[in-house]
Chains A and B, each alone.
Chain A
Amino acid sequence: MSRTILNRLHSAALALLASAFAPAALADWALNMPVGVTEISKEVYGLHMLILGICVAIAIVVFGVMIVSIFLHRKSRGVEPAQFYHSTKAEIIWTVIPIFILIAMAVPAAEGLIRIEDTRNADMTVKITGYQWRWRYDYLDHDIGFYSTLDRESNQARRLNSGTDPYSVENYLLEVDHPLVVPVGAKVRLLLTAADVLHAWWVPDLAVKKDAIPGYINEAWFKADVPGIYRGQCAELCGRDHGFMPVVVHVLERDEYDAWLVEQTADKVATPENVAATRKL
């Protein structure tokens, strides 16, 4: 174990040095938000970069003036301090300009928000219920429902001093026994609620984060453009095992999804527990 620490420390130190020059070369040292696989996630990423860019530009100007001032206007250079302390013109300028910058940000932000909140015309609906500490997915258009719990291997490795190296577990803490399965290109409407305390369902690549609240039904949606496996986590403190209820979404091609549906429905008929679970809905 201690060798691992040393190795990590070593690579951390190296990478810290290297990251200053070549951040892209180091996969683990992710610096930025994922672009994601939905139209909305791309739009959100674009907004994020726009605002980051504006902030960096303002920072360069403000910090630049400060740094110049720190170098030029120091007593050790023998300068005489000026005594001005007011300029209505300057103050009006630096009140008005930021307002325009903010409006320039607010317009695309409001447009994006309106698109995100538009849950109409969904192709399918999944009800998501948060529990301490797992998720339940119910496909409201079909007779399918199941719990989604942290996979056994991660669950063993994450115990205090488990003796299992987290690096030996594939997708440590980000794997579940039964992922949410959806078809590519379909607008999936999510109805979120919780059975005990607050939870939040979050998948960065889908740009969906919404609280699951007891007594509420919240709405969200996504439409994944690329098949794949997308991982996220509970994002609202929900007690002891808040860090151990990941979200995994499998986005399948349409025919694979249909096959999966058939398999699930067949399962339902086959096992009595599944029938019981379905009735509970």
Chain B
Amino acid sequence: MSQVDTHSQHDHHDHGPEKGLKRWLFTTNHKDIGTMYLIFSLVMFMTGGAMAMVIRAELFQPGLQLVEPGFFNQMTTMHALIMVFGAVMPATVGLANWMIPIMIGAPDMALPRMNNWSFWILPFAFTMLLLTLVMPGGGPAGGWTMYPPLIQQTGIALPFLIFAIHMMGISSIMGAINIVVTIMNMRAPGMTLLKMPLFVWTWLITAYLLIAVMPILAGGVTMLLTDQYFGTTFFNAAGGGDPVMFQHIFWFFGHPEVYIMILPAFGIISEIIPTFSRKPLFGYESMVYATASIAFLSFIVWAHHMFTVGMPIAGQLFFMFSTMMIAVPTGVKVFNWVSTMWRGAMTFETPMLFSLAFVFLFTIGGFSGLMLAIAPVDFQYHDTYFVVAHFHYVLVPGAVFGIMAGVYYWLPKWTGNMYDERLGKLHFWLSTIFVNVLFFPQHFLGLAGMPRRIPDYATQFADFNMVSSIGGFGFGLSQLLFIYVIVKCARGDVKATDKVWDEPRGLEWTLSSPPPYHSFNVAPEIK
């Protein structure tokens, strides 16, 4: 705690932030850093979205009209890397930075200087990653999964890709350590672990997942680097290596990674639904245990991403059964959310609308996930648009809608102004309609036999691809409205009250809107 004391001595006593660029470069304030994370992730969301527009435009009709297949592959690869590491993860870290200290009654994050560093690594990492697109040979085009030997055919971009991933990993690990230390040490007196808001809980578990798996990804990509430049043959069969080993390493990281993206969204939803149902969260403790179970199971299901590589049957059975088991704690969460709504007194402001859509659409993604778990049938689904539809359902109307719900929920708290409810609802309806037009037909495409990651397709896939592309353009354009609503709110003149909503629970609503630059210098008492 001494660190916090020193910190509060030198820039404290209600003088505000520094002026100009210095405020943002040198800040150690969790609110500033949270804001920067969120803005950065929004910029990346639009960048990755622009790439998705290229993909959907090329897939609008059969034949190649706009881009060469090689560039198409760069787009799919970069779209995924940017959305996963640049948009979804930093957005949830931004929310964690803003909300966790306030929710547990702490004055700031435990390690504020490291916090600054965790953020400022990211713009450099992503600038480097994006620059690979203009390098000789182009950007990485082997898919975000980076399977060797294909990824070894990347040109000069490969070491830049790997270094960018190392930097993102360092940022994530530092961010995660910071969150664990903050939650473990800086809770207000009386806030026992099982009194923490669920968002804090899900982030605590997420942070452990990050610390556990980011080093594994770093190790895997480093082996790719040494294979390419230092003559090792970890993944080269000709030298006694094993290309499938990379897939095991990648997915040992990759499966927990998908929960790293979704668990914070679970937390957000679990904050919002009780507020707008005017009822306490149903089954708080079982929510915590379900989250922990999902996190544990996420470590023992990785090979369901690779049922077709030719594993022994015992391995396939194990991974099939363990994957199916995830449906149990996930089901508990969905049932708890529904029970929270049951016999509540619901109102439907934008955050609640996004949360309801989350429960519906994430559950659809969960169902297709269960279908994919069934190994013999997965042989038909694997690497088709059915998989694309599945993971976009859990990531876009799942994780991204969760984040958007959180942004609308806390935006009045952050800015002190109400956002435009009418425009927020319009953004919700446009997003929800178009996201379904975009991704639902992809289930049909996959079942009918369209493989993923192809720039051109047989003519029988043309109709649903066109529908999907129209949905894609609509969804992309709708997000411009999101930016407009945020900017309008930040500049707005409709002041928000401290509580913002009817009867929200949690310490954040005891602060003013916007909260003072330094909050909870005196820890609140939790009864």
On A, residues with C-beta under 8 Å from B are 4-5, 8-9, 11-12, 15-16, 27-34, 43-44, 47-48, 51-52, 55, 58-59, 62-63, 65-66, 69-70, 73-76, 79-87, 90-91, 94-95, 98-99, 102, 105-106, 109-110, 112-114, 116-117, 157-162, 164-167, 171-174, 196-198, 200, 202, 204, 207-211, 213-216, 218-219, 232-244
**How far does the Cβ of A55 sit from chain B's closest Cβ, in whole Å?**
4
Contact of B73 with A237 in the complex, beta carbons under 8 Å: yes
Since A4-B61, A34-B448, A242-B73 are in contact, a sample of 19 more A-B pairs with Cβ atoms closer than 8 Å, ordered by chain A residue number, is A12-B470, A48-B374, A51-B374, A55-B370, A66-B338, A66-B356, A69-B341, A73-B343, A81-B279, A109-B320, A110-B317, A157-B63, A160-B67, A200-B382, A207-B379, A215-B243, A238-B150, A240-B68, A240-B70
**B344 beta carbon closer than 8 Å to chain A:** yes
Residue contact B310 to A213, C-beta cutoff 8 Å: yes
User: With A95-B328, A209-B380, A215-B237 as given contacts, are A70 and B346 in contact (CB-CB < 8 Å)?
Assistant: yes
Query: CA separation between A27 and B482, bound complex, in Å?
Result: 39
Nearest CB in chain A to that of B447: its residue: A33
B346 and A75 form a contact (CB under 8 A): yes
Assuming the contacts A12-B467, A65-B342, A160-B65, asked whether A213 and B458 have C-beta atoms less than 8 A apart, the reply is no
Q: Closest A-chain residue to B386, C-beta based?
A: A33
B463 at the interface (CB under 8 A from A): yes
In the complex, what distance in Å separates the CA atom of A79 from the CA atom of B320? 45
Whether the pair B456, A243 counts as a contact (CB closer than 8 A) is yes
Residue of B nearest to A75 (CB): B345
A240 neighbours in B (Cβ, 8 Å):
68-70, 73, 141
A residues less than 8 Å from B346 (CB atoms)? 69-70, 73-75
Shortest distance between the CB of B460 and any CB in chain A (Å): 5
Q: How far is the CA of A167 from the CA of B459 in the complex (A)?
A: 7
Q: Does B384 contact A (CB under 8 A)?
A: yes
Enumerate chain A residues within 8 angstroms of B277, measured Cβ to Cβ: 73, 81
Residues of chain A within 8 A (CB-CB) of B64 are 158-162
Measured between beta carbons, the chain B residues less than 8 angstroms from A98 are: 327-328, 331
Known: A15-B463, A106-B324, A198-B147. A85 touches B281 (CB 8 A): yes
Within 8 A of A (CB), among B44-65: 61-65
List which B341-372 residues lie within 8 A (CB) of chain A.
341-348, 356, 359-360, 363-364, 367-368, 370-371
A215 to B: closest C-beta gap in Å: 2
Kindly provide the distance from the CB of A273 to the nearest chain B CB, expressed in whole angstroms. Answer: 27
Tell me the complex Cα distance, A44–B381, Å: 11
A90 to B331, CA, bound (A): 13
Residue of A34, A79, A213 with most chain B CB atoms under a 10 A cut-off = A213
A-B CB contact pairs (8 Å), 9 listed: A32-B447, A65-B338, A73-B346, A81-B279, A95-B331, A196-B149, A215-B237, A240-B69, A240-B141
Whether A62 touches B363, Cβ cut-off 8 Å, given contacts A106-B320, A235-B384, is yes
Is B466 located at the chain interface by the 8 A CB criterion?
Answer: yes
A-B interface contact total, Cβ < 8 Å: 300
B296 within 8 A of A: no
- The listed residue (B143, B279, B331, B376) touching A82 by CB distance below 8 A is B279
How near does chain A come to B111, taking the closest CB pair, in angstroms?
35
Residues of B within 8 A of A243 (CB): 69, 451, 453-457
Considering the complex, give the chain A residue whose CB is closest to the CB of B444.
A31
Q: Chain B, 143-165, contact with A by CB distance < 8 Å: what is the 0/1 string?
A: 10001011001000000000000
Q: Is B244 an interface residue (CB 8 A)?
A: yes
| B235 to A: closest C-beta gap in Å | 10
Cβ of B464: which chain A residues have Cβ within 8 Å of it?
29
A77 to chain B, nearest CB (A): 8
A197–B279 touching, CB < 8 Å: no
**DSSP class of B's interface residues: helix, strand, loop or mixed?**
helix
Tell me whether B359 and A66 are in contact (CB under 8 A).
yes
- Provide the B9-45 mask, 1 if CB < 8 A to any CB of A, else 0: 0000000000000000000000000000000000000
Q: Indicate if the CB atoms of B344 and A73 lie closer than 8 Å.
A: yes
Given A8-B462, A105-B324; A62-B334 close (CB under 8 Å): yes
Q: By the criterion CB–CB under 8 Å, are A86 and B282 in contact?
A: yes
Q: Which residues of A contact B316 (CB under 8 A)?
A: 113, 117
The answer to whether A85 and B380 touch across the interface, beta carbons within 8 angstroms, is no
Interface residue from B370, B449, B467 paired with A232 (Cβ < 8 Å): B449
- Could you say which of A33, A116, A158 has the most chain B C-beta atoms within 10 Å of its C-beta? A33
Give the distance to chain B from A111, nearest Cβ to Cβ, in Å: 9
* Pair A51/B371 contact, Cβ less than 8 Å: yes
The answer for the CA separation of A62 and B95 in the assembled complex, in Å, is 29
Interchain CB contact under 8 A, A237 and B150:
yes
A8 CA / B462 CA spacing, docked (Å)? 9
Q: How far is the CA of A28 from the CA of B364 in the complex (A)?
A: 25
Pick the residue among B281, B321, B332, B383 that contacts A236 (CB under 8 A): B383
In the bound complex, CA of A83 to CA of B277 (Å): 10
CB contact under 8 A between A33 and B356, given known A85-B279, A85-B280, A85-B284: no
Q: Chain A residues near B317 (CB, 8 Å)?
A: 110, 113
Q: B153 contacts which of A76, A81, A105, A197 (Cβ < 8 Å)? A: A197
B142 to chain A: which residues have CB within 8 Å?
A: 237, 239
CA distance A44 to B379 in the complex (A): 9
B195 to nearest A CB, angstroms?
A: 14
B380 and A113: CB pair below 8 A?
no
Choose from A5, A29, A81 the contact partner of B345 (Cβ within 8 Å).
A81
- Among residues of A, the one whose C-beta sits closest to the C-beta of B60 is A5
Q: Check if B463 sits within 8 Å of A29, measured CB to CB.
A: yes
How many Å from the CB of A90 to the closest CB on chain B? 7
When C-beta atoms are compared, the residue in chain B nearest to A58 turns out to be B367
Q: Which residue of B lies closest to A69 (CB)?
A: B341
B226: CB under 8 A from chain A? no
Residues of B within 8 A of A211 (CB): 308-310
Query: Across the interface, do A63 and B360 meet the contact criterion of CB distance under 8 Å?
Result: yes
Whether A95 touches B320, Cβ cut-off 8 Å, given contacts A12-B466, A66-B338, A210-B310, is no
CB-CB under 8 A from A171, the residues of chain B are 458
- For the complex, give the distance between the alpha carbons of A219 and B308 in Å: 10
Residues of A within 8 A of B377 (CB): 44, 47-48, 51, 109
Give the most central of A11, A80, A95, A196: most B CB within 10 Å: A95
The reply to whether B466 and A9 form a contact with Cβ atoms under 8 Å apart is: yes
Q: In the assembled complex, which residues on chain B have CB atoms less than 8 Å from the CB atom of A196?
A: 149
* With known contacts A30-B460, A90-B339, A166-B459, A113–B375 Cβ distance under 8 A: yes
Q: Which residues of B contact A197 (CB under 8 A)?
A: 149-150, 153
Is the beta-carbon distance between A239 and B73 smaller than 8 angstroms? Answer: yes
In the complex, which residues of chain B have a beta carbon less than 8 angstroms from the beta carbon of A16?
A: 467
